Homo-oligomer: A and B are copies of this chain.
C-alpha cells in the first residue's frame, strides 16, 4: 500500500505510470498520463465505456503490489450501473473507481477500440483542379562577375518570366537553400509558386524537373481528425487517414474543452500542440501510403468547428464559451505552415476556410460549399449533426444558418446503453407490429439478428450498445408500434402484451437485447432523444420563419452520423422536417469534401468566402419563438406540423387533437396527462 497519501499506478498495455493522490478516480489518472480510456457520459457512471480491471500481484520490477482492493468499493453510481448491466470479469468503471493504493491497471482493448474507428472518408466527388500551387522548371543563368546579381534574384526573374508573374517574391526562409539547390540541379531547377488572393510567392525549390505535388485537406472534428492527401495536378485523393482528436483527454465535448482552457489558461499551448502533433502524425501516414515525402506537400486546407479552428490556431476559445460567442477571427486567410508547426514543405501554405458564426464553423462552411444550396432555386436544408447541429437553409435567393444545441445523445452519449458507432453497436432496429419482438443489425455483422448467420458471427464482435442511428430507429419503431405515445411516454400497459416492457420504478423500459449484456431503451433515453431532436427541429423552424415559408425541397444530412441515419426514421421521430423522402439523403463527409474543394480550386475558395459573407446568421438563443418551436417539437413527430408528405408514405399514429383510429390509445394518452 502507499504511504504519504500517494499511490503509484501503472496502466497496461501502454506501460504509462505515475503517482496519484489517494482518492483519485482511475479515469482521471489515465487522462493525466495520456492513456486513452473512452468515456462518453462525462464520468457519471452511466455509459460504461470506461471499464478497466486490476492486474493483481506483486510486480518486482516496478517494486509494487497491486490488488483489487486497492480500488475503493463501488460507488452508488457504479452499483446502479452494475445492477443494470452486470460488469464482467471483475471489471470496474474507471470514472467511479477511486485509487486507494498501488495498482497495475489493465485497459481492456474494447475501451481503446473506438479510437480507431474513423468513419470520415473522402467522398468520390470529382473536383476540377485549379490549385494555388504551380510548378515551373527553369534554367537559371550562371553567376557572372560582370553582372553580380544574387542567385536567388536571377532565379526569381527566371520563374517570374516563365510564369508571367512580375510581382513574384521569394519566401525568405527559402533563401539559405537556393544556392545549393541551383548547383545540385546544374542550374536547372523547378520552383513552386503559391498564388492565391495575395501577391505570388516562390515557396519551394528543388533540383531538376517537375514532381508530383500534394495538398492536404483536413477536417478537425471534436472527436476525430480526418485528413486527405490530394494530388494537386489531377485533383485526385490519393490517401485518406483519420485519428482520434487527442484533445479528448482535456474534455469529451467542445464546451468541456473550452471550460478546461478557461480554468487552466496556461495549458492552452498543450491543447494546440497535441492537435498539431496528431495532424503531423497523420501526414506521415498519408505520405507514407503513397511513397511521397513530407516536403512534397505544399498546400493545405483546414476546416473545423469554431472551437477546433481556434485551438488549432493557438487562439484561446474562451470567448466562444458564452454569449455573444465572439469568434477571434472568422474570415478565411492563408498562413505559412511554419506558423503552425506543421511538418510539410518549409514554404507550404495553409488555407483556413471561413467560420460562419460562433457555433457554425468552417466545417459547416465547407459542407455548404460542397452542397452548394446557393446555386439552386430549390430550397435546401443542410444539417450536420454532432454535439451541435449546424443548420443551413435556403436557395440561390437567400441563405440562412444557425446552430442548435442537440447535445451528445445522437453520438450515443447520455443514452443508458448508448455508444459511439463501432463494431458491436446496434445500428438498425425493426419491431414487429404484432408481437412487439425486435430484430436488429449490428455494426460488423452483415446479417440481421433474426437471420441464420447472425448467431455465428456475432460472437466475434458482441452486442455492446446502441449507436446514434440505432437509437433513432428504435425510438421510431417503438412509436410506430404504439410502444410509446406521441409524447414519448413508454406505455406500461403493454407489459401485458410483451415481457420486453419492464418497469423501472415509476417508468418503463423496452428490453431490446435480453442475452449477454442486456440492452434496454429507458424512458430517460427517449427523453434525451426527444430533447435533442426538438432542439434541431426548432432551429430549422426558426430559419423557416425567417425565410417566410415552410417549403423544403430537399434535405441533405452531412457528417458521419448523417450518412448512417435512415431518413425515413429521422422523419418519423421529427428529427427533420416533412419533405419528399426521395429528396432526403446523407451526403457523407461534406465538410471534408468542401475542404478538398477549397484545397484544389481557388475559385472554390472565393465561392466559400462569398457565400459565408452573404449568409444570414441566426442566433437561436436570441429568437423569442425558439421555446415554442422546441415544445411543439418534443412530440413525435411534432405537436403542430402535420407531416403530410411522410403520412402519404407511412402510416403514422394520428396526431393528438385529431380523433385517432385507435381511440383507446388516444384515450390512454389523455388520461396519462392528467
Say if the beta carbon of A314 comes within 8 Å of chain B. yes
Per the bound structure, the CA–CA distance linking A331 and B173 in Å amounts to: 15
**Which residues of B sit under 8 angstroms from A146, Cβ to Cβ?**
617, 619, 622
In the assembled complex, the CB of A346 is this many whole angstroms from the nearest CB of chain B, namely 11
Say if the beta carbon of A149 comes within 8 Å of chain B. yes
**Which residues of B sit under 8 angstroms from A169, Cβ to Cβ?**
198, 333
Known: A175-B313, A313-B176, A339-B173. A330 touches B149 (CB 8 A): yes
**In the complex, which residues 391-427 of chain A have their Cβ closer than 8 Å to any Cβ of chain B?**
none
**Which residues of B sit under 8 angstroms from A619, Cβ to Cβ?**
145-146, 148
**Which residues of B sit under 8 angstroms from A313, Cβ to Cβ?**
172, 175-176
Say if the beta carbon of A328 comes within 8 Å of chain B. yes
In the assembled complex, the CB of A512 is this many whole angstroms from the nearest CB of chain B, namely 41
Flag A163-200 by CB within 8 Å of B: 1 or 0 each: 00000011011011011100000000000000000110
Per the bound structure, the CA–CA distance linking A657 and B330 in Å amounts to: 84
Number of A residues, CB within 8 Å of B: 50
A338 closest partner in B (C-beta): B339
Q: Quick one: copies of this chain in the complex? A: 2
Say if the beta carbon of A147 comes within 8 Å of chain B. yes
**Which residues of B sit under 8 angstroms from A326, Cβ to Cβ?**
143, 148, 150-151, 179
Taking a contact as CB atoms closer than 8 A, the residue among B145, B173, B179, B316 that contacts A622 in the complex is B145
Say if the beta carbon of A640 comes within 8 Å of chain B. no
**Which residues of B sit under 8 angstroms from A622, Cβ to Cβ?**
145-146
Say if the beta carbon of A592 comes within 8 Å of chain B. no
**Which residues of B sit under 8 angstroms from A330, Cβ to Cβ?**
148-150, 153
Say if the beta carbon of A110 comes within 8 Å of chain B. no
Per the bound structure, the CA–CA distance linking A445 and B316 in Å amounts to: 62
Per the bound structure, the CA–CA distance linking A176 and B355 in Å amounts to: 16
**In the complex, which residues 339-382 of chain A have their Cβ closer than 8 Å to any Cβ of chain B?**
339, 355-358
Stretch at the interface among A91-99, A124-132, A317-325, A568-576: A317-325
**Which residues of B sit under 8 angstroms from A327, Cβ to Cβ?**
143, 148-151
Check if B314 sits within 8 Å of A150, measured CB to CB: no
**Which residues of B sit under 8 angstroms from A117, Cβ to Cβ?**
none
The 5 sampled A-B contact pairs (Cβ below 8 Å) are A145-B324, A153-B331, A169-B198, A172-B335, A178-B328
Interface residues of A (CB under 8 A from B): 142-153, 156, 169-170, 172-173, 175-176, 178-180, 198-199, 313-316, 319, 323-331, 333, 335-336, 339, 355-358, 617, 619, 621-622
